[in-house]
């Protein structure tokens, strides 16, 4: 018994491949046993020919992983980029901290806190590949929590930075928004 079904789809990129597969409930994995995929690149439809009566679908297969040389190059890129970012963030925070006049404004405190959150993010992201290679569940849990906290802190401070930027634009164009400007407390840090 050979059953065939034609399915329309959008054309994937050249590095991707379509495959007719069914979900095998005994192994809890997708399998292409007994399924034949009839498709060539450039066609906008695929034909699946199966010799069994199970639910099947067309899966888009992506290459498993980059080659070892590509993986090494990507590692160097992320190490150099994160290290450079961490170095410049540390210099910027030190410059802000040493200059008392710059620290006075409320907006500068938001800048400093955003940079500290980015420093924490970089400090925890840099060793993440080495921690993933170690089979310690406690260390892995710590890194996951620290990365999530750092990302949440970064996004929160970035949202506050955006709100402060909005207030600065309102001040520059002399626009009065009664909901945000009911008292002069918001404008004390703007100079």
What is residue 51's three-state secondary structure? coil
Does residue 66 contact residue 74 with C-beta atoms inside 8 Å?
Answer: yes
Which range has the top average pLDDT, 107-111, 157-161, 169-173, 183-187?
Answer: 157-161
| 35: nearest Cα among 12, 59, 13 | 59
| pLDDT over 80 (residue 162) | yes
Tokens linked to 44: 């906008």
DSSP code of residue 14:
T
pLDDT at 158: 95
What is residue 15's three-state secondary structure? coil
pLDDT at 118: 95
| pLDDT over 80 (residue 113) | yes
Tokens linked to 67: 């080659």
Tens digits of per-residue pLDDT, 65-100? 677 888 889 889 989 999 999 999 999 989 888 887
Task: Count Cα atoms within 13 angstroms, Cβ side, for 91.
Answer: 6
Tens digits of per-residue pLDDT, 134-146? 878 889 899 999 9
The domain ranges of the chain are 3-61, 68-172
DSSP code of residue 66:
-
What is residue 7's three-state secondary structure? strand
Who has greater pLDDT, 168 or 90? 90
Does residue 101 contact residue 187 with C-beta atoms inside 8 Å?
Answer: no
Mean pLDDT over all residues of the chain? 78
| pLDDT over 60 (residue 153) | yes
- Cα–Cα distance, 48 to 39 (Å, whole number): 9
> Any bridge partners for residue 49, and if so which?
4, 36
Alpha-helix runs per DSSP H in the chain: 68-98, 100-103, 106-125, 128-133, 137-172
Who has greater pLDDT, 32 or 142? 142
């Amino acid at each position: 018994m050979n059953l065939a079904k034609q399915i329309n789809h959008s054309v994937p990129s050249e590095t991707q491949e379509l495959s007719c597969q069914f979900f095998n409930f005994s192994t809890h994995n997708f399998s292409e046993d007994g399924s034949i995929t009839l498709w060539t690149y450039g066609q906008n439809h695929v034909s699946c020919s199966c010799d069994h009566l199970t639910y099947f679908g067309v899966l888009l297969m992506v290459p498993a992983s980059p080659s070892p040389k590509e993986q090494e190059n990507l590692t160097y890129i992320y190490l150099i980029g994160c290290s450079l970012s961490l170095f410049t963030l540390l210099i910027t925070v030190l410059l802000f901290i040493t200059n008392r006049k710059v620290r006075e404004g409320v907006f500068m405190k938001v800048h400093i806190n955003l940079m500290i959150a980015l420093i924490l993010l970089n400090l925890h992201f840099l060793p993440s590949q080495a921690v993933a290679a170690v089979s310690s569940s406690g260390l892995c849990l710590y890194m996951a929590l620290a990365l999530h906290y750092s990302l949440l802190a970064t996004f929160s401070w970035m949202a506050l930075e955006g709100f402060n930027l909005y207030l600065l634009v309102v001040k520059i164009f002399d626009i009065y928004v009664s909901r945000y400007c009911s008292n002069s407390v918001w404008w004390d840090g703007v100079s």
